[in-house]
Amino acid sequence: MRTSKYLLSTLKENPTEAAVESHRLMLRAGLIRQVASGIYTWLPLGLRVLQRVEAIIREEMNRKGAIEISMPVVQPAELWQESGRYAKYGPELCRLKDRKHNDFVLGPTHEEVVTALARREVKSSRQLPLNLYQIQTKFRDEIRPRFGVMRGREFIMKDAYSFHMDHASLEQTYDDMYDAYSRIFTRLGLDFRAVEADTGAIGGNHSHEFQVLADAGEDTIAFSDGSDYAANIEMAEALAPAQPRPAPSATLGKAATPGCHTVDEAAAALGLPASQVLKSLLVRGAPDAEGRHELVMLCLCGNQTLNEVKAGKAEGLSNPLEFASDEEIAELVHAHPGSLGPVGFQGRIIVDRTAERMADFACGANEDGYHLTGVNWDRDVPSYEVCDLRNVEEGDPSPDGQGTLHLRRGIEVGQVFMLGTKYSEAMGATVKDESGADIPMEMGCYGIGVTRVIAAAIEQHHDDKGIVWPAGMAPFEVAIIAIKPGKSEAVRECAERLHDGLCAQGVEVLYDDRDERPGVMFADMELIGIPHVITIGDRGLSAGEVEYKSRKSGERVALKAETALSDLLKILGR
Ligand code: ATP
Ligand code: MG
């Protein structure tokens, strides 16, 4: 490919709209352009990267016996009503009508469509297990699209769905997919961890996420230094402290804390550390048959934070967890949210395991402008439940009892789920067992954010000059820079010969024949991150040499012009 005939759309200036390095570089290198918030066009260079990633994913999926299909983006609402998700999926699900006023959705994921397919096509248990996948556009009307294609609204996902007679078969395919994902992300040159994960809106009972370690990541992962325990912080269990709770030594008192709305403000006013002030929150319980809910008080140590995912799973709470509104709180306790506390609270109280070990602590008095001091569980709050509600912290003991937890930021590039029979049961996707009875198929589903993977890779692989593609992803393997080809027949001839020779060997080459200033061409090739760069100029040629430079190491080597092709092929490992 010649740059003179290509759409190379590099930008010199840093785009101001980009908040993370990968987004900046994807715009500057001309990989993507925004069309609307969270919606992008992929330019030729970006598309090449996308296609390379897709090729690796396809190879590894096919290797595990998965079969490629293609399902529609536009899906009838009826299927979503059958699964029960039409009502449950929030505003991320884009709903639309056709000209006949039939309801449709833009697929954020494809469990419904694929389950309807399997229901019709799988006639006998002999066809199982079956693993169907596609690489296809998804739409999720994300509330905060950001970081370019990292969190887009329209994005490309590889999604696979497996069908089984029994749980053992599902486990086998789950392990195969886990293995395939590990191979895919390794081949893509990513530093990643597989972590235990929550199942979110997809559902099911067992799941792992594949997280690329990067500071720009939106997820926090916890891992042990003493074992292979690793989990998304949403899932990581905080153990109860080893020390027992000290006996009460203070009497219950009441202190004026005018204008204090937060734990830190109350702690400062009372002269206590935040760890001695209780944080009390009111959340909604699970709705009853009439849709009414009680308000439940959650209590945490003032210096720790609520884990909404774990709390949402607590018995009888709304899930996803919903906080009480200020009006609901005012009606129940006649105080503002910053003045809540468990003493005298007439309702269900759930105390975090660590908070349950506090003694002589302070908490809101359920009266604006006052806190209680010297508070003790049992003595002052006779009735409460204890549950794991808080986020784990750096230095906590690992929940498997081995080692200490550390926290890192991660970008979720893939997730595998054991769905069980959630969809097959709801939608009647059954096969006959040996006794002739219809049983719902066991299902698994497996997603990779294909477009997000590229942003994640750039987060891990860049320097101050631009992208440094891992070998498996680069849009071109070799760049040839011809210096002043318009002025020198020898330069032109040597560059053409090398270009044609490499192409004949199946090497993807970008030949920069723009006749630009050399500095501009170097900068562009470094920005777009081509791994191997050959520079051909009159000065080198007069000594019979061309220059090779590795993008990654920056190392330069003079190659003999005559043998440049074979020398380069050797460097490329061909
Ligand atoms: P997230 O928690 O980041 O919103 P998710 O858990 O909802 O993602 P899944 O349903 O597991 O996403 O989808 C499979 C994969 O699709 C994810 O692992 C991620 O790599 C990718 N993905 C999900 N949402 C987006 C998005 N808005 N933009 C780009 N990629 C996405
Ligand atoms: Mg996920």
Per-residue model confidence (pLDDT) at position 515: 86
Residue 185 near ligand 1, beta carbon < 6 Å? no
For residue 5, how many other CB atoms are within 10 A of its CB?
9
- CA of 137, nearest ligand number: 1
Distance, CA of 2 to CA of 6 (rounded, Å): 6
Model's pTM, two decimal places?
0.91
What phi and psi, each to the nearest 5 degrees, are found at residue 126?
-70, -20
Please list the pLDDT of the chain residue by residue as tens digits (574 residues). Answer: 999 999 999 999 899 989 999 999 999 999 999 999 999 999 999 999 999 999 999 999 999 999 999 999 999 999 999 999 999 899 999 999 999 999 999 999 999 999 999 999 998 899 999 999 999 999 999 999 999 999 999 999 999 999 999 999 999 999 999 999 999 999 999 999 999 998 876 666 789 999 999 999 999 999 999 999 999 999 999 999 999 999 999 999 999 999 999 999 999 999 999 999 999 999 999 999 998 999 999 999 999 999 999 999 999 999 999 999 999 999 999 899 999 999 999 999 999 999 999 999 999 999 999 999 999 999 999 999 999 999 999 999 999 999 999 999 999 999 999 999 999 999 999 999 888 999 999 999 999 999 999 999 999 999 999 999 998 999 999 999 999 999 999 999 999 999 999 999 999 999 999 989 999 999 999 999 999 999 999 999 999 999 999 999 999 999 999 999 999 999 999 8
Cis peptide before 320 (omega within 30 of 0): yes
**How many whole angstroms from 412 Cα to the centroid of ligand 1?**
7
pLDDT the model gives residue 374: 98
Q: Provide the token pair at 204.
A: 């099911």
Cα(511)–Cα(495) distance, integer angstroms: 8
pLDDT at 274: 97
- Residue 95 CA to residue 139 CA, distance in Å, equals 11
Does ligand 1 have an atom closer than 6 angstroms to the CB of 202? Answer: yes
Please indicate whether residue 108, judged by its CB atom, sits closer than 6 Å to ligand 1: no
pLDDT at 203: 67
- Closest CA to ligand 1's atom 31: 449
Helical H segments across 400-517, by residue range: 422-427, 450-460, 489-504
Question: Pick from 480, 544, 365: which is nearest to 1 by CA?
Answer: 480
For the chain, give the number of residues: 574
Ligand 1 and 412: CB distance under 6 A = yes
339/74 Cα distance (integer angstroms): 49
157 lines ligand 1 (CB under 6 A): yes
Contact predicate 490/449, CB 8 Å: no
Amino acid sitting at position 398: S
Number of Cβ within a 10 Å radius of residue 287: 12
Q: Give the list of residues 6+ apart from residue 7 with CB closer than 8 angstroms, or none.
A: 30, 43, 44
Ligand 2 midpoint to CA 209 (Å): 7
- The span from the CA of 166 to the CA of 128, in Å, is 10
Note the pLDDT of residue 204.
Answer: 67
Q: Whose CA is nearest to atom 15 of ligand 1?
A: 449
Q: Ligand 1, residue 210: give the atom nearest the CA.
A: 18
Q: What does the DSSP 8-state code read for residue 248?
A: P
Residue of 452, 453, 454 with the most ligand 1 atoms within 8 Å of its CB, for mutation: 452
Question: In which residue are the tokens 């599902």 written?
Answer: 170
Nearest CA to ligand 1 atom 19: 449
pLDDT of 524 reads 97
Secondary structure in 3-state letters for 431-464: EECCCCCEEECEEEEEEEEHHHHHHHHHHHCEEC
pLDDT of residue 86: 96
**Residue 152 CA: which ligand is closest?**
1
Atom of ligand 1 nearest to the CA of 142: 27
Q: Which of 64, 273, 45, 68 is nearest to 159 (CA)?
A: 68
Shortest-distance ligand to the CA of residue 446: 1
> How far apart, in whole angstroms, are the C-alpha atoms of residue 291 and residue 318?
11
